[in-house]
Amino acid sequence: MENPIIETFGLGKKYHISNLVNKNTEEKGLLGGIKSIITQPRHQPKWALRNIDIKVEQGDIVAVLGGNGSGKSTLFRLLSEITDPSEGEIILRGSVSCILEAGVGFHHELTGKENIYLNGTLLGMSTEEINAQFDQIVAFSELEQYLNVPIKKYSSGMYIRLAFAVASFLRTDILLVDEVLSMGDESFRQKSIKRMKQMADEGCTIMMVSHDAKILRDICCSAIHIEQGQLIGQGSMGELFKSYSEK
Ligand SMILES: Nc1ncnc2c1ncn2[C@@H]1O[C@H](COP(=O)(O)OP(=O)(O)OP(=O)(O)O)[C@@H](O)[C@H]1O
């Protein structure tokens, strides 16, 4: 694979989880016999991902497979630069848009319309470029009536429709879609799948997480399999899905 659009080298992310540890101690002296509880914060490091070396080719639609807590969302957070790696390196040869869990990427006090312009500006687009895409975004999201309403008043389904429309019609080379299609209704899901195939045909690279195996098998040609923060494999969807579902 020459000049893959996404490459990672020894990528790792370590979180520090603070646990409150109750320690029963027996007081001596004046307070002899009285037990007190001392609560001490302790920080335990946990590697959410480690030693991840992947390569993704431009125009590919890649499924990211893995059980709960395996590190899929962490990988997307690293690739979209929401969080920094603890070790290793990421090379991105294009701009990234992501649709992560409801709320991320939008400013809740701003209206739908203001968020469309804000997202476009963050992607480096001029007002004229955003204007040129605006009607398509609104039509795709089917939120004409709610454009001047603050995002905080949107339902999760409405949020997902706007997030998908914004991410898929504003200029982007890489689209990361994390488990959001299951939140929309069936007709929106079908429309989104069609749009993703069209984007891939136009050269956009898509990585997606979904617990809906049918969606993944329908549109992904390759896959990455992660378990407990470790890369199990990268290859064709057919091959990896088989080993993933047999585990
Ligand atoms: N902000 C955080 N602080 C501490 N630990 C975290 C944080 N985010 C994720 N983790 C831990 O990192 C591991 C990987 O989490 P991640 O959300 O990436 O998994 P996932 O594969 O997306 O899971 P799921 O399919 O359940 O959404 C988990 O053990 C999780 O508890």
Q: CA-to-CA distance for 145 and 149, rounded, in angstroms?
A: 9
Q: Return the structure tokens found at 86.
A: 């603890």
Task: Measure 195 CA to ligand 1 centroid, in angstroms.
Answer: 29
Task: Measure 53 CA to ligand 1 centroid, in angstroms.
Answer: 19
Q: Does residue 8 surpass a pLDDT of 70? A: yes
Please work out whether the CB of residue 172 comes within 6 Å of at least one atom of ligand 1: no
Please work out whether the CB of residue 12 comes within 6 Å of at least one atom of ligand 1: no
Residue having the nearest C-alpha atom to atom 2 of ligand 1:
15
Please work out whether the CB of residue 17 comes within 6 Å of at least one atom of ligand 1: yes
Compute CA distances 130 → 5, 99, 123, 138, 166, whole Å. 24, 18, 10, 12, 10
20: β partners = 41
Residue having the nearest C-alpha atom to atom 30 of ligand 1:
69
HSE of 6, CA atoms in CB hemisphere, 13 A: 27
| Ligand 1 atom closest to Cα of residue 76 | 18
Please work out whether the CB of residue 148 comes within 6 Å of at least one atom of ligand 1: no
- Give SS3 for 194: helix
Confidence category of residue 172, pLDDT binned at 50, 70, 90: confident
ipTM of predicted complex: 0.96
- Give SS3 for 172: coil
Q: Return the structure tokens found at 51.
A: 């030693």
Pairing of β 174-178 and β 96-99: parallel
Give 106-150 pLDDT, tens digit per residue: 899 999 999 999 888 877 788 998 999 999 999 999 999 999 999
Per-domain residue ranges for the chain?
Answer: 1-21+38-94+174-183+202-247, 100-172
- Give SS3 for 241: helix
In CATH terms, are 1-21+38-94+174-183+202-247 and 100-172 the same topology?
no
CB 197 within 8 A of CB 177: no
Confidence category of residue 103, pLDDT binned at 50, 70, 90: low
* pTM of the shown model: 0.84
Q: Does residue 224 surpass a pLDDT of 90? A: yes
Ranges 41-50, 90-99, 238-247, most confident: 90-99
Q: Find the helix or strand (DSSP H, E) in which 169 lies.
A: helix 156-169
Which fold is adopted by the domain 1-21+38-94+174-183+202-247? Answer: Rossmann fold (3.40.50)
Pick the CATH number of 100-172 from 1.10.3470, 1.10.8, 2.60.40, 1.20.58: 1.10.8
Residue 163's pLDDT is what?
Answer: 86
Residue 18's pLDDT is what?
Answer: 66
